[in-house]
């Protein structure tokens, strides 16, 4: 068996020890005589798996009892529509800060349900930054401000969160669990699982309980936060195996020392990569240094005609999924929790060698 260094933006690399444990438990979970995949979600064994996962996630992120933690489906994309239906009436406005493609998609979806009010955007500088907070023109009739805390395609990340008299909503799909955050700064956080949390198919929603009493009557039951909370996220069949695997990831994170320890590792991995890009005349980062993501590192070769050779030669030595998103081109290394420091070192060695050969 040869495992590659996988820099995919998602679904993405998972910690090897988690996959090994899943393999060991695959055919017979805890002497139940069956795989977790084959279990009823109503069985005592699965309910225990599910509640342990929730408890560990609460522990990792220090989530208080005033928040629901939901394990849903539909990806972050479903949440683009679900939260306006849960939190706002058709006449309401939700303020949006636009820092890239995922912000724009969230805005487009919200517009179907209420007024999406763009209060700041970095589109004019090619989505290379977070617009200065002083320049945000907050709406007078909006209770909420939505941000995408880490733009997966552009590699732009909020380093600090705004402190506003409004309720902050964050799409944290590509960074939840990569660093410690203060949950109390947010009314709602949502994230698709397939980057730092586990396999695709699971979506995490962390929402303040007091915000969950005004869902529109037409909100589909599976996306109704209150209804799902009252059913322990099992209003219908949940994505049981993804939930179980996410639980293994949470245990792995706790064993590593929790999110403070993980954040340190992630900062180091990202810093090493940005330092190398910065020190070279061959590579270039398109993102304002103040907002460079620790999770998704886009970079360009100054001579674009070498892009293909870069990707081909990287692939040959087991460095995969380095092609940048088709909308921006160049390269992108996604270095989520499951991507080891060793994988980043292998990439750095390759980049140096490639530069020596072609530079």
Ligand X SMILES: Cc1ncc(COP(=O)(O)O)c(C=O)c1O
Q: How distant is the alpha carbon of residue 257 from its chain centre? A: 20
The kind and range of the H/E element at 332 are strand 331-334
Q: Which of 83, 102, 252, 291 binds ligand X (CB under 6 A)?
A: 102
Segment interacting with ligand X, rule: CB under 6 A, options 42-50, 59-67, 168-176, 327-335: 168-176
Q: Shortest distance, CB of residue 148 to ligand X, whole angstroms?
A: 5
Q: How distant is the alpha carbon of residue 353 from its chain centre? A: 31
Q: Which is nearer to ligand X, 82 or 212 (CB)?
A: 82
Residue 116 · residue 243 · CB < 8 Å:
no
**Exposed, middle or buried, 71 (CB in 10 Å: 0-12/13-18/19+)?**
buried
Place of tokens 């980049």: 351
Residue in the shown chain whose Cβ atom is closest to ligand X: 75
Segment interacting with ligand X, rule: CB under 6 A, options 24-32, 56-64, 70-78, 86-94: 70-78
Dihedral of alpha carbons 190, 266, 285, 348, sign = negative
SS3 of residue 98 by DSSP: strand
> Is position 136 annotated as part of the catalytic site?
no
Interaction between residue 10 and ligand X (CB under 6 A): yes
Interaction between residue 84 and ligand X (CB under 6 A): no
> Is position 102 annotated as part of the catalytic site?
yes
Q: Which of 73, 173, 233, 337 binds ligand X (CB under 6 A)?
A: 173
SS3 of residue 78 by DSSP: helix
- Given 102, 269, 300, 323, the catalytic residue: 102
Interaction between residue 240 and ligand X (CB under 6 A): no
Interaction between residue 152 and ligand X (CB under 6 A): yes
Q: Which of 53, 61, 69, 76 binds ligand X (CB under 6 A)?
A: 76
Q: Which is nearer to ligand X, 239 or 247 (CB)?
A: 239
Residue 347 · residue 273 · CB < 8 Å:
yes
> Is position 62 annotated as part of the catalytic site?
no
Cα end-to-end distance, the chain, whole Å: 34
Catalytic machinery residues: 102, 171, 195
Q: Which residues bind ligand X (CB under 6 A)?
A: 10, 75-77, 102, 148, 152, 171, 173-174, 192
């Amino acid at each position: 068996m040869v495992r590659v260094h996988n820099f995919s933006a998602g679904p993405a690399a998972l910690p090897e020890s988690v996959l090994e444990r899943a393999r060991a438990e695959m055919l017979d979970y805890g002497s139940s005589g069956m795989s977790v995949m084959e279990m009823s979600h109503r069985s005592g064994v699965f309910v225990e798996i599910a509640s342990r996962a929730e408890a560990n996630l609460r522990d990792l992120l220090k989530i208080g009892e005033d928040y629901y933690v939901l394990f849903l489906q539909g990806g972050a994309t479903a949440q683009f529509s679900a939260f306006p239906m849960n939190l706002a009436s058709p006449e309401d406005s939700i303020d949006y800060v636009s820092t890239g493609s995922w912000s724009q998609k969230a805005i487009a979806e919200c517009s179907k349900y209420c007024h999406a009010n763009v209060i700041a955007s970095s589109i004019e500088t090619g989505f290379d930054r977070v617009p200065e907070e002083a320049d945000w023109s907050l709406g007078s009739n909006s209770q909420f401000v939505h941000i995408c805390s880490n733009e997966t395609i552009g590699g732009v990340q909020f380093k600090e969160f705004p402190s506003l008299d409004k309720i902050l909503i964050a799409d944290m799909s590509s960074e939840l669990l990569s660093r410690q955050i203060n949950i109390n700064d947010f009314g709602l956080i949502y994230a698709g699982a397939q980057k730092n949390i586990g396999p695709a198919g699971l979506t995490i929603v962390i929402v303040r309980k007091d915000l969950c009493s005004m869902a529109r009557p037409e909100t589909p039951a599976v996306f109704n936060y209150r209804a799902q909370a009252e059913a322990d996220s099992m209003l219908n069949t949940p994505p049981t195996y993804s939930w179980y695997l996410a639980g293994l990831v949470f245990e792995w994170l706790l064993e590593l020392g929790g999110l403070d320890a993980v954040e340190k590792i992630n900062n180091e991995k990202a810093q090493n990569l940005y330092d190398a890009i910065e020190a070279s005349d061959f590579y270039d980062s398109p993102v304002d240094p103040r907002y460079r993501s620790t999770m998704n590192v886009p970079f360009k070769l100054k001579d674009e005609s070498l892009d293909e050779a870069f990707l081909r030669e990287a692939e040959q030595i087991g460095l995969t999924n380095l092609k940048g998103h088709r909308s921006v081109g160049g390269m992108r290394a996604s270095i989520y929790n499951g991507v080891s420091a060793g994988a980043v070192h292998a990439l750095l060695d390759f980049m140096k060698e490639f530069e020596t050969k072609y530079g």
